[in-house]
Amino acid sequence: MAKAMASRTHLNNEEQKFTQMEQWDIDQLQKCHYINLPSYNIDELPKKLDCPELKLISLRRNHGYLTIPDNFFSGTREVKVNNLHGMRFAPSPLPSLRLLTNLISLNLYGCVLEDIAIVAELRRLEILTLERSKIQELPKEIGQLVCLRMLDLTNCHQLKTIPANLLSSLTNLEELYMGNCNIQWEVEEGKGETNNASLGGLRNLNQLTTLDLSIQDISVLQEDMFVFGKLRSYNIFIGNTWEWFGDARENSRTLKLDHSLKTNICLNRWVQLLFTTVEDLRLAKLNFGNHNNVSYEWKGESFPQLRHLHIQSTDAFHNLETLILSNLENMEDISYSTLPTHSFERLQVIKVQGCHKLKKLLLYSLAKNLSQLHEMEISDCGDMEVIISEEKLEDEKEIPKITLPKLHSLTFYNLYTLRSFCFPLTADKHDQSTTVTLFNQKVNT
């Protein structure tokens, strides 16, 4: 929106070199449509900014917090985009903010906020960003912003309370960002002593397409969260294993599940809906119990968009006997992190079919445990380069060979780019003149 407005206007002012209020050219500011004031060293602002034609203002404080005078915006009533970074609005925002009745986007990034109920008077507001701001409770009046399309609460660590029915009243909301917040959600609206909101309020958001959410307790999500099936972009973290990432996001649909939770979350219907669209799936603390004859099968019809599968901190593969990856056409890699040394020691059958973008299958450190492997079948994986991939093993001075004493059936079909069963750790993969045999000195069969 800011870029679109800037492209249609020609008068602008970027006062990066001015650090004192008396240096500002007030006459020039009165003609501006767009003002960027990165106030690196400014300790105070003018009592009133008289810019009747102003459409966009960006005011940033990089060190500490800057207090804005009460009447600062009284001469800027045509502003549509207002970006205020590192400001102090305590105990309440400045009164002149309510005069910005044409405001469409309000960004209060990294600000000190207490009572911001005055924001509810900006009835045309479509975008409200409170990212990294210090705020403990959203006022119930925010629910009156019926035109709101985006609400960003990312990294509001102190935010504990969202009043009941607030989210469900924002029926035009398209994007909701609540990653890395500590909101005390109720299991069901109106049932708790604090009368906090429940995530069940998301059911009313029929326009919602983007959701960031991090929670530790799976019980705050009801079974009938069918709104998850409409999401085009999401980052949903369940459990206490995960750290929220920064601004850079490789995938638009990420789901991270901690299976140490009491409930079997994979049985929940909303999880099944996300499985059909997830690109990056991360699982931690898997536990199948002490059952034998365990089979683990990943089918393309269940994960048609899956690109990355990451598994960590689990005992699940101790009892695993059959591993099947089928028609995961978009999956590019499988990564394993902090798995016990005995993982895969009972694995007997590996079948991989139709994983066209998968380049490697197992890490060398895990493949050492395949002493019980009877059968391996890999087919129709057009990008597969190596079955067992190299890695740095700093703790081992001499790399032991992989031994597969019980392997009696090995089937490779349509593996056009396969170079070797196991790359030697010292081989230069980029040296095309190097001849690599299918089974090199790292493998005994």
Domains of the chain: residue spans and CATH? 1-115+122-130 (3.80.10)
pLDDT computed for residue 31 by the predictor: 80
Instruction: Give yes or no for residue 407 having a pLDDT over 80.
Output: yes
Instruction: Give yes or no for residue 341 having a pLDDT over 80.
Output: no
Cis peptide before 424 (omega within 30 of 0): no
Q: Mean pLDDT across the stretch 321-326?
A: 90
Closest listed residue to residue 272, CA positions, set 311, 315, 305, 229 = 229
Question: What is the phi-psi region of residue 444: left when phi exceeds 0, alpha when psi lies from -120 to 50, beta otherwise?
Answer: beta
Confidence of residue 126 (pLDDT cuts 50, 70, 90): very high
Contact 229, 273 (CB under 8 A): yes
Half-sphere exposure of 55 (CA within 13 A, CB side): 14
Pull the structure tokens for residue 415.
Answer: 């593996």
Instruction: Give yes or no for residue 434 having a pLDDT over 70.
Output: no
Instruction: Give yes or no for residue 14 having a pLDDT over 80.
Output: no
**CA–CA gap between residue 412 and residue 141 (Å, rounded):** 63
Report how far apart, in Å, the C-alpha atoms of 179 and of each of 204, 246, 407, 419 are: 20, 10, 47, 42
DSSP 110-157: T-EES--GGGGG-TT--EEE-TT-B-SB--GGGGG-TT--EEE-TT-T
pLDDT, tens digit, 9 for 90 and up, residues 58-94: 888 877 888 888 899 999 999 999 999 988 887 777 8
> Which pTM does this prediction carry?
0.83
Closest listed residue to residue 386, CA positions, set 408, 409, 402, 374 = 402
pLDDT computed for residue 127 by the predictor: 97
3-class DSSP assignment, residue 58: strand
The H or E element spanning position 27 is: helix 26-29
CA 345 to chain centre: 34
More confident residue, 139 or 190: 139
Contact 123, 144 (CB under 8 A): yes
**CA–CA gap between residue 274 and residue 271 (Å, rounded):** 5
**CA–CA gap between residue 362 and residue 333 (Å, rounded):** 10
**CA–CA gap between residue 86 and residue 41 (Å, rounded):** 13
pLDDT, tens digit, 9 for 90 and up, residues 34-65: 888 765 566 777 888 888 999 999 888 877 88
pLDDT, tens digit, 9 for 90 and up, residues 245-282: 754 555 689 999 886 555 555 557 888 889 889 999 98
Contact 352, 388 (CB under 8 A): no
Closest listed residue to residue 343, CA positions, set 324, 364, 315, 322 = 315
DSSP 294-307: EEEEEETTT-TT--
pLDDT computed for residue 101 by the predictor: 94
